[in-house]
Amino acid sequence: MTIYPKKINKVPLDNIRVEDYVFHTEETNHQKSFIKSLPFHTTIQQTFVPLENIKNLSIIETELNMSIGYASMIIQNPGSINVCHKDQCFLLEEKTNKTKIRANIFLSDWIFGQLIETESFTISRWEKFSAYIWDVNSWHFAINFSDVDKLTLQFSGYSNE
């Protein structure tokens, strides 16, 4: 049995470009969270990425040890907070024998002021294309107190472990 979160050093991903997509704004303060209301900036920009746009998808699935159901790209703007929450993976079907997981892949190198915190550890100082995987039971949050956007690609799917 895999213990989450789990780190992957380098995902073979190099053809995703933010400028190829149209993003929409989402308020993260309305997620299932133990924080009910925050009086500050809790929005992200998100878009869904068609899986056929991702080269080497089968290699990526092998590297991440998961069956990918869908992908989304997120821009977290400077000064924003994605509040404490558990991922819902709402587009995945319920499969009682499969663990729902999410792989969070960084599309740029870490900049001071960017941070993700899970119940198990703090994620910072990442390199472009490194990833962390967690299941739907993992509490986490993200902040971006840097002066540049934090860019991530998220794969949601089922663990193959």
pLDDT tens, position by position, 105-136: 999 999 999 999 988 889 999 999 999 999 88
Q: Taking the C-alpha atoms of 13, 23, 89 and 10 in order, what is their torsion angle to the nearest 10 degrees? A: 20
pLDDT of residue 88: 81
Mean pLDDT, residues 4-26:
81
Q: How confident is the model at residue 84 (pLDDT cuts 50, 70, 90)?
A: confident
**pLDDT, tens digit (0-9, with 9 covering 90-100), for 57-69:** 999 999 999 999 9
Domain count, the chain: 1
Q: What percentage of the chain exceeds 70 in pLDDT?
A: 88
The domain containing residue 52 runs over which residues?
6-159
Q: In what order do the strands lie in the sheet with 43-49?
A: 6-8, 131-135, 100-106, 150-159, 66-76, 43-49, 24-27
Please give the residue that has the higher pLDDT: either 96 or 76.
76
Question: Distance between CA 121 and CA 133 in Å, rounded?
Answer: 12
CA 41 to chain centre: 19
CA atoms within 13 A on the CB side of 65: 14
Nearest by Cα to 73 from 149, 128, 155: 155
Q: Establish if 24 belongs to a structural domain.
A: yes
Q: Establish if 1 belongs to a structural domain.
A: no
**CA distance readout (Å), 22 to 10, 17, 25, 33:** 26, 11, 10, 27
CA 1 to chain centre: 22
Nearest by Cα to 104 from 153, 61, 158: 153
Indicate whether 39 pLDDT > 60: no
The CATH code of the domain that includes 26 is: 2.60.120.330
